[in-house]
Amino acid sequence: MSSWLAALEGTPAGHDLALALALMAAVLHALFGALQKGRHDPWLSRAAIDLSYGVIAAPFALFLVPWPEPHMWPIFAGAVVIHIVYKVLQAMTYTRGAYTVVYPVVRGTGPLVTVIAAGLVFGEHFAPGQWIGLLLLVGGILGLAAYNLRHVTVDRARLVPALCFAAATGVLVAAYTTYDAYGIRATADPFTFLAWFFMLDGIFLPLVSARRLARLRRDEIGPLMRRGVLGAFVAYFSFGAVMLATRLDKVGEAAALRETSAVFAALIGWLVLGEKVGWARMGLMTLIALGAVLIEALG
């Protein structure tokens, strides 16, 4: 499969596959965020997810994929550090603000910064029409956050710090998206990067959350670990998909299309959680989708 993917890099077929992977990542990332914000403490939810995907990835990293080249070890170290900072900020965001408010802010901040970073790091450039699409997408996402904020009546005093943490988390989303794209392009086999990344990335949060995990009641452990295993597989197909998309095609386009996850998060809230959508949110979701279409069509 690695040789097949390598043959697709920079081709029209690779572009189409990258589009499909980015949209799949969008759907799954909305689900991933909802899993982390669910009934458990976000620190514990993320620790359970990280522990699960680290353990599952270990045999693949150690025995199945080719071992990383020597130059990859500093790259892995940088990736782990960036993702640690991202996860800490994300957990601090989710413990302070309503999911429907903070999630769009996180996802709306990321793509604009990613496109700028991809231009600096990889020399990628958006066409003028794509910039219009990006601004529509980001504006729709942040508009969705503003709409949700207007209707939040609980813990409003905590929303200002929550929104600040959400914006900072969005910047880290851009940082890890750009850095991971660099990392997955630096190795001959993309699955080497994915397997070792997930194994190494699964170490930190379970260690720092060990005391919290130890205080759990016995009847809480099973549901938490089930959430962790489910989240692990969602993470593989969400984070893994967008990493592969950035190897196959432009980093900025893949990052922008992934942020249509704000639309899918709203749909999850409507279809699963019973939240009302209304005409205003429907219009904003349409704006996000239109922005994504322009980015793709005018690329």
Q: What confidence tens digit (pLDDT) does each residue in 212-264 have?
A: 877 878 878 888 888 889 889 988 988 889 899 999 888 888 888 887 777 77
Residue 218: which residues within 8 A CB-CB, separation 6 or more? none
Give the distance from CA 131 to its chain's centroid.
21
Q: For residue range 166-211, what is the model confidence (pLDDT) as tens digits?
A: 889 988 988 999 999 999 999 999 999 999 999 999 999 899 888 8
CB 104 within 8 Å of CB 145: yes
Residue 105: which residues within 8 A CB-CB, separation 6 or more? 142, 145, 163, 166, 167, 170
Q: For residue range 269-292, what is the model confidence (pLDDT) as tens digits?
A: 677 666 666 777 778 777 887 888
pTM: 0.84
Tell me if residue 40 falls in helix, strand or coil: coil
Alpha carbon distance 243, 229 (integer Å): 21
Domain ranges for the chain:
2-297
Instruction: Record the tokens describing residue 263, joined without a space.
Output: 């639309």
